[in-house]
């Protein structure tokens, strides 16, 4: 299978971690007989330096012409004094809008080898943490009217049935590719928008009879994530709730450098990136952890290219790498062997096997 991947190496450690992810993809292509073609795209601070624009139109078009986009990281203090409309992050917002990606999907998975890094007590961690939060990305209170009149401020939380339905379908379809359990999170005991959310989710459930749908109030969900995270498989929720819950979920894994993410819309063309930043303080020092980016590439294979075996192969190779006791500096612990970014990528490649 031939796939064209737009590659945004970005700023800081972005080029280093992306390079390792591409090396892994090349090995997957060799093992499974695929062809991955990479188109480099300038976005972020590097694009400001080169073109005076965080995402020039011609670079954006390269992304829109691709089958999916792999992103390292953008931004850094070098560009702090750039006018707001031209900051590196504006390129990312422009890209999301142009791609129409309305669903941000962030896994919360604790690797057994890193269980001691979780802030949760051992008895909870031992039950397993492996779920994904599907967050609506371009609606809700963040995109409603914001107004301040005198000493009163208002922010409008608004959702239409069509907006809820399209993110709901992402939730159900994601659950179909996992353990077929979907938890819809809202605040229907208080909010009209949440009551509509719940109504639409239950209507959609009739189209996905193989998926078990449950409802949970957002305050209870926040509690359950730290009390009993093993109960969750896929969580779908609106923008602000998802923003808060996904940050909470990332912390219980204890390893931000290991966490990938995807942003999807109405097509299979998605945007895949690790959740961490550009870490300019360690850029160019071969210290970065590329695993979050490598796992983002695995998500691309699973959710955009319908290559579940290939995605499994990458995830199993990461697990084998951790089993062997190797760690980058950010997750280093006593008794482990510290490796750099390049060696980490090579060790994962060495563990890749055709599933």
Q: Indicate which residues carry an active-site annotation.
A: 142, 187, 219, 243, 247
- The DSSP element (H or E) to which 351 belongs, if any, is none
23 closest CA partner among 33, 38, 8 = 38
Instruction: Give the pairing of strands 212-217 and 271-274.
Output: unpaired
Dist CA 248 CA 290 (whole Å): 22
Q: Dihedral angle at the C-alpha atoms of 338, 342, 344, 345, nearest 10 degrees?
A: 180
Residues whose CB is less than 8 angstroms from the CB of residue 268 and which lie 6 or more positions away in sequence, other chains included: 67, 68, 303, 304, 305, 306
- The DSSP element (H or E) to which 9 belongs, if any, is strand 2-10
Question: CB atoms < 10 A from the CB of 212, how many?
Answer: 14
């Amino acid at each position: 299978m031939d796939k064209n991947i737009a590659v945004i190496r970005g700023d800081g450690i972005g080029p280093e971690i992306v390079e390792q992810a591409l090396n892994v993809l090349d090995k997957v292509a060799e093992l499974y007989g695929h062809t991955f073609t990479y188109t480099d795209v300038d976005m972020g601070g590097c694009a400001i330096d080169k073109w005076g624009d965080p995402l020039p139109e011609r670079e954006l078009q390269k992304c829109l012409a691709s089958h999916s986009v792999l992103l390292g990281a953008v931004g850094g203090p070098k560009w702090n004094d750039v006018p707001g409309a031209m900051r590196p992050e504006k390129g990312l917002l422009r890209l999301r809008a142009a791609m129409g990606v309305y669903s941000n999907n962030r896994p919360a998975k604790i690797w057994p080898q890193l269980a001691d890094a979780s802030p949760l007590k051992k008895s909870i961690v031992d039950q397993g943490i492996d779920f994904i939060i599907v967050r609506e990305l371009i609606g809700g209170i963040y995109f409603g009217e914001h107004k301040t009149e005198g000493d009163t401020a208002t922010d409008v939380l608004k959702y239409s049935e069509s907006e809820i339905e399209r993110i709901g379908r992402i939730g159900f379809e994601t659950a179909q590719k996992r353990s077929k359990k979907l938890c819809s999170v809202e605040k229907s005991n208080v909010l009209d928008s949440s009551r509509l959310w719940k109504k639409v989710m239950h209507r959609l459930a009739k189209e996905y009879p193989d998926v078990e749908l449950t409802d949970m109030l957002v305050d209870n969900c926040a509690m359950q994530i730290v009390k009993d995270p093993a109960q969750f498989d896929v969580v779908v929720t609106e923008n602000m709730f998802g923003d808060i819950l996904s940050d909470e979920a990332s912390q219980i894994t204890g390893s931000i450098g290991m966490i990938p993410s995807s942003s999807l819309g109405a097509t299979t063309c998605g945007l895949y990136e690790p959740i961490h930043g550009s870490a300019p303080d360690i850029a160019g020092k071969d210290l970065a952890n590329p695993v979050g980016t490598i796992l983002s590439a695995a998500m691309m294979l699973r959710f955009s290219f319908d290559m579940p075996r290939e995605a499994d192969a990458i995830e199993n190779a990461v697990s084998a790498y951790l089993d062997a006791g190797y760690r980058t500096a950010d997750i280093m612990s006593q008794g482990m062997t510290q490796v750099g970014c390049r060696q980490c990528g090579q060790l994962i490649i060495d563990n890749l096997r055709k599933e």
